Amino acid sequence: MSEARQFQHIGQRTIRPDGFDKVTGRANYGADFTLPGMVWGKILRSPYAHAKITKLDVSKAEAHPDVLAVATHQDLPSVNAEAFAAGETAMDVLDLARNVLADQKVLYHGHAIAAVAAKTEAAAEVALDLIEIEYEVLTPVVTLDAAIAAGAPVLHEDMLTQGLDQPATEPSNIASRMELKKGDVEAGFKEADVIVERVYETPTVHQGYIEPHATVVRYDDKAPSLVWASTQGHFDVRAAVSKLLKMKLGQIKVIASEIGGGFGGKTTVYLEPVAMILSKKSGRPVKMVMSREEVFRASGPASASRSKVRIGAKQNGELVAMEASLHFEAGAFKGSPMGPGCMTIFTPYDVPNMYVEGFDVVLNKPKVAAYRAPGAPQAEFAAEMAMNELANKLDMDPIELRLKNAAKEGTQTIYGPKLKQVGLIECLEAAKQSPHYQSAIGDGCGRGLAAGFWFNIGGQSSVTLNLNPDGTGTIIEGSPDIGGSRASMQMMAAEVLGIEPSRLNPLVADTETLPYNQTTGGSRTTFATGMAVIEAAEDVVSQLKERAAALWNVTTEQVDYKNGVALNLAGDDQMTLAEICAAAEKTGGQISGRANVNARGAGPSFAVHLCDVKVDQETGKTDVVRYTAIQDAGKAIHPSYVEGQYQGGAVQGIGWALNEEYVYSDDGVMENAGFLDYRIPLASDLPEIETIIVEVPNAFHPFGVRGVGETGIVPPLGAVASAVSDAIDTPVTKIPCSPPHVLSMILNRG
Amino acid sequence: MKTHVETTINGEPVECLIDPSTTLLGMLRNDLGMTGTKEGCGSGDCGACSVVMDGELVCSCLVLGVEASGADIETIEGVADRDKLHVIQEKFLEHAALQCGICTPGLIVSTKALLAENPNPTEEEARYYLAGNLCRCTGYDKIIKAVMDAASAVREA
Amino acid sequence: MVAVTYHAPTSLDEAVALLSSSELPAKVLAGGTDLIIQMQKLVTEQRLIVDLKKIDGMQSATLSDEGLTLGPSLCCAKLTRRDDIKDVFPGLVEAAYLIGSSQVQGRASVGGNLCNASPAADTIPALIANRAVCQIVGKAGERSVPVESFVVGVGKNCLEPDEILKAIVIPHPGKATSDAYLRFIPRTEMDIAVASAGASISLDSDGICTNARVAIGAVAPTALVVEEAARKLIGQPINEATLEAVSQAASDASTPISDRRGTAEFRRHVVGVLAKRAVMAAADRAKEK
């Protein structure tokens, strides 16, 4: 195991190997790629949130002299409903086909209907205008209440709610219901001295990646078609294109460009299948880039939610029962993260009686996609707010209340497994001792805190590690690098091989170079791809020993390998890695290690965040004045990038809690589809984000790694909202705490 | 009808033939193949397309290519001296002030403009000057630390 | 993007001639930070763009004892570096400084902000508070219009299609007079004003207000002069009672809408808060002078 292990490279703050390209502008992102003969693709989008397409005539667009091809849903082969996994969410092939190009019905404002490929962007826009469409406009369903109301207009005539005790006979907008239970909540509540029961709401928000979706696709009849895409999972792009267009996997080569942010939003496809059709029809490579407005209207935001939560405790703070009913908005097609929401909501607490039910609801908004711990921020926000109110009512410190009930090794989760060793208690203790918590709350300020949990996943990763005759080498891995993971791969390989990290160049290979690699998501990369890197490096080490043994004419058991040097235990000889590589030709050829893993044992990461805010009581404006993010990393391979994940997740959560929301008209049109009015945090909005890395090693990773990328977005919603509650002396139940909302709470407080 | 534009980019004379509706950003990326300057929003709200034009920091998505006629443009491609990084670039790497890196070119150009105007900014001044550069990955913390460290390194140089 | 024909004349006469004779709809270009965004929304239209920046005087700013003559195309970054102008008109410079980000400052101009005539334009309440006058030139000659009459509706100014804003003239405020501009936005930068207020206050040696002008923005189709606020201030000390009266007058004068940036109730309340804070800030500055 890795406790108290001394590392040579792990834990250092190296310069990332792709850094030079990133700071000079040389790195190539989705829109930075061109091919000879390339043409531009643009999409025609629905002006209505809910309508039947009664006429679609593309002939005038096709006739435009600068247009080379037009695509509609008719160009997609007929597909059946079929679930397939992509990142942390499941996709349905039929739904995906209807999302990338609408099939007879448009289900959200901005829904793609047709696409053109033209010689210039301007010509493409003119051509879109030439497409003739007529609609039968239907009543848009734009709120949760409207979607679940009796007699609501139904989006999908074949949608019968799954998961009900009595099977549904009439279609509705509730795609599914889920139920999880542990113990007996009714009996539990009878023991409660204090109960908190509230309804909490969170809005539709967007991941907010600064790089819009972009792809260049070249269809080829005789060779693999090429897809260059900004994506978190190029193997899943391949799978999606394969299923949608009925092409064999071997006919598609996907290159993952550098990616300008994803956070879950780039684990599905929007443009790639459409570009493939256009390329096939036009015989030219096709480039498609979403505008910022298209990103907001027609990619995959995160679910809005409504959570009814009831928790009860004895006077001494011991929780006796926790219950919740969660509604998640899925957007136009089924598949919100309602499931993970139900599973995570109460997991930070070891309580004998729990009941959670969840509903996945469709309505006329874009189909949601994953956003950093999908479902957990929404659900855990509700639980954490209730916990803080409970602490208030019990006159108990909110950290003490959590310590008293904290999940730990052996805790039975509501979703099945028992937790292995986890670090929540350590995070809570660190929070208690932190300079932030020890400091007095400033004048006119309020303080809040919240805990957070995410499971993290393992999954399939594949790595090849090639060494050169001069002892330099390449780590070929398949995880698009969204945050600096190549540096960690370099360090993990270097640790095993005992050489300087800079001698190894990590690269993210395309889908033809490696077997399947699961999407970069689920906080899996440092854990699972790291595991594969370590295994591939260990494979190299065993080969190095064999080669040294051959050169020394001893058995492999007589060779040891430490710190980059092979030692002949039967003599005095030593050989460095470089020396063994120089002789590789003689001993059997060049040395290359390999690992294909389906990593198990991903360790969950718990976090606790502290937040102080100052509220202008005359205007409702809230400023975050101090913030600390404390999280268990298991083992921080590269501390700077671990801190970076904590800080990035915290700030996304701060935005979610304070100012971010999709504003919809009654017609279902998003009114703030741009960075001007969709307000993500700015540098001037924020203080320093202090971080504390807690390390409770994960026994299932050779170095103790836990994924850290996602948990960090979970606590800020509760930490910020409870800080506001504290500052205005009123419980917040709805975010964002935008100034009009906060002022209204101030003016209306009892 | 296309317009002939003659301009200076990173000290070198450049010319191209563009549609007058082309923005400077479009001219750089599509007509000149200089893709270091990024498009995040096309409406001046994100700063990813930041360049310096005649000594002023601007969003190149809000400048027409034809307006660049006779002007002096500095882009990210001109910040390093071939393979010798500018101290701002070095500090960004040292402080891990980038994760996905898409906002980084804009931030580096903006930081260079900040330090040219105010060589000794306070942290607050730096945050406000750079408010027009959106970053979604880092939470800005390490970016500001890199900027303050770069400021001090530039002052000492 | 629209199809563009672009000209950069070097004299006002040439510019006016271009605008008068154009068969295409014509737009003048200063900083472009509003115009270029608007042009992107058009697909099949054509426009004549007349770039004013090469015309002498359009980018100058001359300060004298009489006041400030401001070229309408001077970018805010250059204007706000003028310490001499900041000394005399701190509120106006404040307002110019708040337009957008550092990058937008490198192009946006006071004249462009005024002509674009957004109800939430930052410069307009400050210009009104400072009694600015707009000098206009067209094929029929020159005319002057006080700034509060320059904007006539949402996104509409009083210029004829052949007319150009030539200069903004702001009279010197004189002794013991200063100004301030405040706006409310949900973040700390970048946002369009949800409500705003500009004030110019003159004080006598006892701290009694001898002259006042208060203007509010983003709470009506155009920025408004709040005469009632001035009435409550003149002859009074700047104390809690007068400030409350100013606040009430500003709220009462507002006719805000509810939109993605704020509710009507919120705007009405906040503009009152900003008006009193702007008056306080202007008064504090006036005391220093």
Q: What was the pLDDT predicted at C44? A: 81
Is pLDDT of A3 > 60?
no
> Which of A122, A210, A644 is closest, CB to CB, to B48?
A210
Inter-chain touch B98–A13, beta carbons under 8 Å: no
Q: Which residue do the tokens 């711990």 mark? A: A373
Choosing among A12, A16, A22, which should be mutated to test the B contact, i.e. which has the most B CBs within 10 A?
A22
Cα–Cα distance measured from residue C77 to residue C281, given in angstroms and rounded to the nearest whole number: 23
Q: What percent of chain A has pLDDT over 90?
A: 97
Q: Which residue do the tokens 């317009």 mark? A: B3
Query: Could you tell me if A248 and A232 lie in one domain?
Result: yes
A50 burial via Cβ count (<10 Å: 0-12, 13-18, 19+): buried
Inter-chain touch C32–B62, beta carbons under 8 Å: yes
| Chain B contact set for A681 (CB, 8 A) | 139-140
Q: What is the pLDDT of residues A431-449, one digit of tens each?
A: 999 999 999 999 999 999 9
Average pLDDT over residues A406-422: 97
Cα-based distances in Å from C176 to A416, A748, C205: 75, 41, 8
| Chain B contact set for C101 (CB, 8 A) | 44, 47, 59, 131-133
Query: Could you tell me if A635 and A710 lie in one domain?
Result: yes
Residue A160 falls within a domain, yes or no?
no
Q: What is the pLDDT of residues A528-557, one digit of tens each?
A: 999 999 999 999 999 999 999 999 999 999
Q: What is the pLDDT of residues A98-108, one digit of tens each?
A: 999 999 999 99
Query: Could you tell me if A423 and A542 lie in one domain?
Result: no
**Where does the pLDDT of residue A516 fall: very low under 50, low under 70, confident under 90, or very high at 90 and above?**
very high
User: Is A666 in the C-facing interface, judged by CB distances under 8 Å?
Assistant: no
Average pLDDT over residues A189-214: 98
Q: Say if CB A213 and CB A230 are below 8 A apart.
A: yes
Average pLDDT over residues A313-336: 98
Is pLDDT of A639 > 90?
yes
User: Is C37 in the A-facing interface, judged by CB distances under 8 Å?
Assistant: no
Cα–Cα distance measured from residue A67 to residue A40, given in angstroms and rounded to the nearest whole number: 9
Query: Could you tell me if A426 and A477 lie in one domain?
Result: no
User: Is B56 in the C-facing interface, judged by CB distances under 8 Å?
Assistant: yes
Average pLDDT over residues B43-59: 98
Q: Say if CB A287 and CB A216 are below 8 A apart.
A: yes
Query: What are the average pLDDT values for consecutive 10-residue runs of chain C, which has 289 residues?
Result: 90 97 95 95 89 97 97 97 97 96 98 98 98 98 98 98 98 95 97 97 96 98 98 98 98 97 96 98 95
Inter-chain touch B127–A212, beta carbons under 8 Å: no
Choosing among B7, B41, B56, which should be mutated to test the C contact, i.e. which has the most C CBs within 10 A?
B56
Cα-based distances in Å from A71 to A102, A115, A184, C75, C271: 11, 5, 55, 45, 51
Q: What was the pLDDT predicted at A91? A: 79
Is pLDDT of A644 > 80?
yes
Which residue, among A365, A366, A363, has the nearest Cα to A145 in the 3D structure?
A363
Which of A564, A599, A634 finishes a domain? A599
- Crossing angle of the two packed helices A376-394 and A398-405, in degrees rounded to 10: 110
Residue range(s) defining the domain that contains residue A717:
305-456+603-748
> If DSSP codes are grouped into helix, strand and coil, which group holds residue C193?
coil
Two tokens, residue C270: 């906040």
CATH number at residue A492: 3.30.365.10
User: Is C102 in the A-facing interface, judged by CB distances under 8 Å?
Assistant: no
Average pLDDT over residues A10-36: 97
Which of A599, A629, A647 finishes a domain? A599
Inter-chain touch C187–A129, beta carbons under 8 Å: no
Which residue, among C135, C144, C130, has the nearest Cα to C179 in the 3D structure?
C130
Query: Could you tell me if A64 and A130 lie in one domain?
Result: yes
| Chain A contact set for C259 (CB, 8 A) | 671
Window from A1-5, A387-391, A743-747, C211-215 with minimum mean pLDDT? A1-5
Q: What was the pLDDT predicted at A1? A: 43
Assessment of whether the complete model's pTM goes beyond 0.80: yes
In CATH, the number for domain B3-78 is 3.10.20.30
Average pLDDT over residues A226-255: 97
Inter-chain touch A684–C188, beta carbons under 8 Å: yes
Greater pLDDT, C3 or A576? A576
Q: What percent of chain A has pLDDT over 70?
A: 99
Q: Say if CB C212 and CB C199 are below 8 A apart.
A: yes
Inter-chain touch B136–A263, beta carbons under 8 Å: yes
Average pLDDT over residues A63-74: 98
> Which of B45, B75, B105 is closest, CB to CB, to A674?
B45
Domains of chain C: 3-51 (3.30.43), 61-171 (3.30.465.10), 177-288 (3.30.390.50)
Question: If you ran DSSP here, which 8-state letter would residue A251 be given?
Answer: G
CATH number at residue A75: 3.90.1170.50
Q: How many domains does chain A fold into? A: 3
Give the domain B87-156 fold: DNA polymerase; domain 1 (1.10.150)
Q: What was the pLDDT predicted at C3? A: 86
Cα A696 to chain centroid distance, Å, stands at: 23
Average pLDDT over residues A228-257: 97
Cα–Cα distance measured from residue C37 to residue C182, given in angstroms and rounded to the nearest whole number: 26
Cα–Cα distance measured from residue A507 to residue A18, given in angstroms and rounded to the nearest whole number: 9
Is pLDDT of B130 > 50?
yes
Query: Could you tell me if A434 and A551 lie in one domain?
Result: no
> Which of B79, B100, B131 is closest, CB to CB, to A683?
B131
Choosing among C37, C182, C188, C192, which should be mutated to test the A contact, i.e. which has the most A CBs within 10 A?
C188
Distance from CA of C44 to the nearest CA of A (A): 6
- The mean of the pLDDT values for chain B is 97
Q: What was the pLDDT predicted at A750? A: 64
Inter-chain touch C3–B129, beta carbons under 8 Å: no
Q: What was the pLDDT predicted at A90? A: 74
User: Is A125 in the C-facing interface, judged by CB distances under 8 Å?
Assistant: yes
In the stretch 103-132 of chain C, residues with CB closer than 8 A to chain B read 103-107
Query: Could you tell me if A290 and A327 lie in one domain?
Result: no
Inter-chain touch C40–B47, beta carbons under 8 Å: no
Q: Which residue do the tokens 């070119």 mark? A: B105
Q: Say if CB C128 and CB C212 are below 8 A apart.
A: no
